């Protein structure tokens, strides 16, 4: 059974066919994929949860550098 599944691009909300030929799925393009990756890298997007034991917060012990 061959179903046509369409999802929305997480970045721009354009419809994207969910099939093997859609190289950037769930994104519509490499541009939208890279925008999303940049948001994760800049910590604009995070997965909420408890802080892990032994996790290092690099900003915790910083003194004002200005």
32 is in an annotated binding site: yes
**Cα–Cα distance for residue pair 56/66, rounded to 1 Å:** 23
CB 9 within 8 A of CB 17: no
9 is in an annotated binding site: yes
40 is in an annotated binding site: no
12 is in an annotated binding site: yes
Tokens of 52: 């892990």
Binding-site positions read 9, 12, 28, 32
Binding-site positions for Zn(2+) read 9, 12, 28, 32
């Amino acid at each position: 059974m061959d179903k046509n599944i369409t999802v929305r691009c997480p970045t721009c909300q354009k419809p994207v066919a969910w099939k093997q030929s859609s190289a950037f799925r769930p994104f519509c393009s490499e541009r939208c994929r890279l925008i999303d990756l940049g948001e994760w890298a800049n910590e604009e997007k995070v997965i909420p949860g408890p802080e892990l034991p032994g996790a290092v917060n690099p900003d915790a012990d910083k003194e004002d550098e200005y």
